[in-house]
Amino acid sequence: MKVSYPHTTMRPPIRRVSMNTASPLATAMVRGKLHRLGTRRLTVWPIGTRGRTNRSAVTRAVTNTVITGLTIGLTIVSWCFPTRGRMNDSAILGGGKGDELTSMDMGSPYETIVYKEAAGYQLRLLVCRPDEWSAADARSAVVWIHGGGWRGGRPEMLLRHCRLFAARGAVTFSVEYRLMTNEGHDVESGKAHGVETCIEDCRSAMRFIRLHAAELGINPNRIAVVGDSAGGHLALSLATIDCYDAPGEDTSVTAMANAVVNCNGIVDFTGRWKAAVPVVDVEKVGGDPVRAWMIRHEQAKALSPLNHVSAGQPPMLIMQGLLDVTVVPEEAVRFYEAYTEAGNEAELVLYPHLAHAFVLFDYKTEEKEVLKVIARIDQFLTRYDYLPAPVL
């Protein structure tokens, strides 16, 4: 089993610099090691080892150094550029955290596209394109899905992430999906009836992106999905659960992801997360409590990515904090083991010092730690050619 334990210290440069200037700093970033636990043995590799070529460990470490340096450098560049003619994060989020985010990330402009109307509500994609983008391109796409327990969160939460990966050459999207009402409240118009509605909307977003690939300048067969927490569950669902389609949609166009990054996502609803699955009214099933329990249990299984693992599913990076008490690390390990035993490519990265939602800026995790996570996602996407390799 491949397991990584990142623990390096990273200090980003303050402006765009040449690679020769950045190299000493980048070298200092990677003095630690990653421990990767193989299927049958434990191996200790220098950072940057990917196991795909016969290059020396030193060469691989330098390659990883460059990727990390580029990612962090692009982060700071995005902080320094003013917005150009569109609403900034502060305007979207309405002060508070939005003001803090704006002070750090005045990033590139983005567009809002309505990909679906449901119950009179317009669902949006926030789109960031590279500066040199052209509709004639066939770039990779990186789709971000926010968390919030399927009841909260907004796509603006991941705008900074989108900007960073647009700066790396991908067309990026942050998905809005319908949210469930709080427990004990009736379902409101425009709200999700359950987790399955959230899955349905994300599948609709994926189909929209593929159907409009030519206009968006992307390759419809190179769409990576990254999700955090409940968004991690939705990203996993786009790798494993091929159902919950909106009525009338063209199901000949696949809604499945080509690669997935799961940040502490929920994998199983049959245990502690069954609370997210509505209780079945006993009176509606002939007064039989056993039948009501079984119906709910089967629905929990149907919503669980762990229950849908099979061969032929896309490559995946699974990231988990060992201090997470919201989604316990054992769940990530269970999913990783099932996924790889089915013959799929996956890597499990465990962070011994991080808790839940570690990929979010301005939340609970220090910014330098979030940047390390972003750099690790960058490495994964570069490995599978969703991002360009650095130019030496």
The CATH number of residue 13's host domain is: 3.40.50.1820
Mean pLDDT of 153-175: 96
- What's the mean pLDDT in 10-25? 26
**Taking Cα atoms as reference points, which of 220, 218, 72, 208 lies closest to residue 133?**
218
Find how far residue 228's CA is from the centre of its chain. 6
pLDDT in tens, 251-307: 999 999 999 999 999 999 999 999 999 899 999 999 999 999 999 999 999 999 999
Give the three-class secondary structure for 126: strand
Q: b/e string for 358-376 if b means 16 or more Cβ within 10 A?
A: bbbbbeebeeebbbbbbbb
269 phi-psi bin (left φ>0, alpha ψ -120 to 50, beta other): alpha
For residue 297, tell me if it sits in a domain.
no
Would you say 344 and 33 are in contact if contact means Cβ atoms under 8 Å apart?
A: no
Place of tokens 């209780």: 279
pTM of the model: 0.74
How many C-beta neighbours within 10 Å does residue 173 have?
30
CB 372 within 8 A of CB 73: no
Q: Which residues contact 163 (CB under 8 A, 6 or more apart)?
A: 78, 105, 107, 108, 110, 128, 172
User: Per the domain annotation, does 298 fall within a domain?
Assistant: no
Q: How far apart, in whole angstroms, are the C-alpha atoms of residue 57 and residue 65? A: 12
Report pLDDT for 282: 94
- In 3D, which of 67, 55, 56 has the Cα closest to residue 29? 67
Res. 29 pLDDT band, cuts 50 70 90: very low
Range(s) of the domain holding residue 219: 3-268+304-383
Length of the chain measured in residues = 392
Q: Residue 295: inside a domain, yes or no?
A: no
Find, among 163, 158, 167, 146, the residue nearest to 110 by Cα.
Answer: 163
In a domain, 23, yes or no: yes
Q: CA dihedral in degrees (67, 175, 152, 338; nearest 10)?
A: -60
44 found inside a domain? yes
Assigned domain for 338 exists: yes
Domain contains 279:
no
Query: Residue 107's pLDDT is what?
Result: 56
Q: How many domains does the chain have?
A: 1
| Residue 84 confidence (pLDDT) | 29
288 located within any domain: no
- Return phi, psi of residue 124, to 5°: -110, 150
CA atoms within 13 A on the CB side of 144: 29
| Top-confidence range, 22-26, 104-108, 349-353 | 349-353
Chain centroid, CA 192 distance in Å: 21
Structure tokens at 151: 């009841």
List, in sequence order, every residue forming a beta bridge with 125; answer none if it has no partner. 113, 175
Which residue type is seen at 137? D
